[in-house]
């Protein structure tokens, strides 16, 4: 009887211990799952945050979710020697600061080009074969990226001839819970104002071709991205080159909102 009671006690202790360990394992698993969900929800995964490297003006490189992305590659293939070969190339418009066929030919053809119809028509036939045409409003997927082509155009009457509605694309690119907006050459449009939940916005600002930094401030106030990176901010005044006041843009936006403004070096060369 004594041994039987001892056995029962030992068995009960073992059962409780196993139950406790199981609960600990389940709790740890729940915590890990919650942490992963929160990372996805907040866009904090290193795979979901693009690394953005300026090349010049409207041209930049992104490393995002183990893919290498070029945006509006111009300036010759030598400008991209420091970067891996692209998986994707986004082109926004037909102007030479966005589309340069000579640069493309120096980059090979082992990639996909995403571009509007107007750009497609200017590409050699061999490059048309690797191009996915996306016009305003189109949506598609490439690797793990969801892409929507957005209108980019001038709204001021005296500037409408620079960028007509329907010709070029801005792009909204999403990976998981992280949304990136590339404005292309545009003023503040109704489509821009309707953007939601943008984590990073690359926003142009240069007169007379797009908009002033004051206009850009109004656009940012409307769609409230988490972070803004001013780019494409070299313009013309009285026939002379000038640079839009991105420092004033940063000061005004950060002093009146929770939006972060990151200034990057686009014109050192």
Q: DSSP assignment, residue 152?
A: E
Q: Residues 6 or more apart from 11 whose CB is under 8 A from it?
A: none
Tell me the H-state helices in 46-140: 101-105, 117-120, 125-128
Task: Identify which has the larger pLDDT, 8 or 190.
Answer: 190
Strand pairing of 59-64 and 67-71?
antiparallel
Which residues pair with residue 132 across a beta bridge?
114
Checking if the pLDDT of 63 tops 60, the result is yes
Q: How confident is the model at residue 12 (pLDDT cuts 50, 70, 90)?
A: low
Checking if the pLDDT of 20 tops 90, the result is no
Q: How confident is the model at residue 238 (pLDDT cuts 50, 70, 90)?
A: confident
User: Cα(185)–Cα(171) distance, rounded to whole angstroms?
Assistant: 11
User: Cα(80)–Cα(103) distance, rounded to whole angstroms?
Assistant: 9
Assess contact for 73 and 59: CB atoms under 8 A: yes
pLDDT digits (tens, 9 = 90+) for 27-49: 554 454 344 334 434 434 444 68
- Say which CATH class 47-261 falls into: alpha beta
pTM of the model as a whole: 0.82
The per-residue pLDDT for 9 is 54
What residue has token string 């590409």? 123
Task: Identify which has the larger pLDDT, 20 or 253.
Answer: 253
Percent of the chain residues past pLDDT 90, beyond the cut: 80
Checking if the pLDDT of 252 tops 60, the result is yes
Q: How confident is the model at residue 4 (pLDDT cuts 50, 70, 90)?
A: low
The per-residue pLDDT for 5 is 60
Mean pLDDT of 231-252: 95
C-alpha distances (whole Å) from 218 to each of 121, 153, 214, 227 are 34, 16, 7, 15
Mean pLDDT of 173-200: 97
Closest by CA to 87, choosing from 170, 167, 173, is 173
The per-residue pLDDT for 239 is 87
* Structure-block tokens of residue 246: 């991105």
The per-residue pLDDT for 214 is 95
Checking if the pLDDT of 120 tops 80, the result is yes
**Would you state the torsion angle of the CA atoms of residues 145, 150, 153, 155, taken in this order, to the nearest 10 degrees?**
-130
Domain ranges of the chain: 1-42, 47-261
Cβ count within 10 A of residue 87:
17
> For all residues of the chain together, what is the average pLDDT?
88
Checking if the pLDDT of 268 tops 90, the result is no
Assess contact for 177 and 144: CB atoms under 8 A: no
Mean pLDDT of 103-109: 94
């Amino acid at each position: 009887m004594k041994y039987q009671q001892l056995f029962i006690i030992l068995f009960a202790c073992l059962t409780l211990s196993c139950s406790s360990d199981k609960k600990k394992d389940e709790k740890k698993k729940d915590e890990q799952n919650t942490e992963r969900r929160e990372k996805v929800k907040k866009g904090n995964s290193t795979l979901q945050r693009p690394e953005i490297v300026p090349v010049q003006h409207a041209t930049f490189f992104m490393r995002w979710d183990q893919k290498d992305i070029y945006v509006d590659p111009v300036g010759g293939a030598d400008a991209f020697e420091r970067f891996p070969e692209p998986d994707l190339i986004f082109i926004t418009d037909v102007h030479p600061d966005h589309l340069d066929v000579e640069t493309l030919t120096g980059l090979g053809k082992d990639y996909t080009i995403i571009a509007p119809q107007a750009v497609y028509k200017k590409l050699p036939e061999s490059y048309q074969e690797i191009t996915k045409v996306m016009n305003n409003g189109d949506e598609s997927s490439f690797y793990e990226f969801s892409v929507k082509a957005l209108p980019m155009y001038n709204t001021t009457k005296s500037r409408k001839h620079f960028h007509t509605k329907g010709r070029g694309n801005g792009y909204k690119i999403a990976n998981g819970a992280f949304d990136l907006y590339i404005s292309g050459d545009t003023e503040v449009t109704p489509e821009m104002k309707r953007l939601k939940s943008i984590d990073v916005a690359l926003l142009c600002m240069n007169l007379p071709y797009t908009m002033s930094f004051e206009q850009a401030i109004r656009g940012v106030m409307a769609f409230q991205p988490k972070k803004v990176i001013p780019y494409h901010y070299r313009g013309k005044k009285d026939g002379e080159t000038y640079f839009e006041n991105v420092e004033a843009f940063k000061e005004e936006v950060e002093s009146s909102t929770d939006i972060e403004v990151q200034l990057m070096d686009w014109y050192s060369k």
